[in-house]
Amino acid sequence: MRLLLDTHALLWWRSDPKRLQPLTHEAIAGGEHEIWLSYASVWEIAIKKALGKLNAPDNLLELCASDGFHLLPIELPHIAALQTLPPIHRDPFDRMLVAQARVEALILVTNDANMMRYDVKVMTA
């Protein structure tokens, strides 16, 4: 499987992995699957940290690299795919994650009910 972690799934993985569903935790921890993080999540975390709305480690990318996670840049096909998404969710970061999951054929790991309404494969975080 190729999994794309929603921002909250990434933060739970790093700070409180017991919040993840057991099968999801196993899929991330097992080393058998590709785990992807979007630049959109990195960007969202940076903004929320700067505003004082989020406490996340300063070396989050280093920690994720040590976990073997891959970074997914935002590319033109992802941006183009945004135009085809129905207006279910207004959050631009979440919409980008959905677009990337669709374009790259990734399974989106999330607990966001709005994101689950899109035509995208989902694994419950």
Residue 106 three-state SS: coil
CATH of the domain at 45: 3.40.50.1010
Taking CA 109 as the corner, what is the angle to CA 70 and CA 62, rounded to the nearest 5 degrees?
A: 30
Number of CB atoms found within 10 A of residue 13's CB: 24
- In total, the chain counts a number of residues equal to 125
Q: How many CB atoms lie within 10 A of CB 41?
A: 26
pLDDT of the residue at 37: 97
Q: State the total domains in the chain.
A: 1
Using CA atoms, how far apart are residues 38 and 61, in angstroms rounded to an integer? 11
Q: pLDDT value at position 61?
A: 85
- Tell the residue number behind the tokens 């993080």, with chain if given: 37
Provide the residue range defining the domain that includes 94: 2-124
Q: Which helix (H) or strand (E) holds 2?
A: strand 2-5
Quote the percentage of the chain above a pLDDT of 90: 91
Q: What is the pLDDT of residues 97-125, one digit of tens each?
A: 999 999 999 999 999 999 999 999 999 99
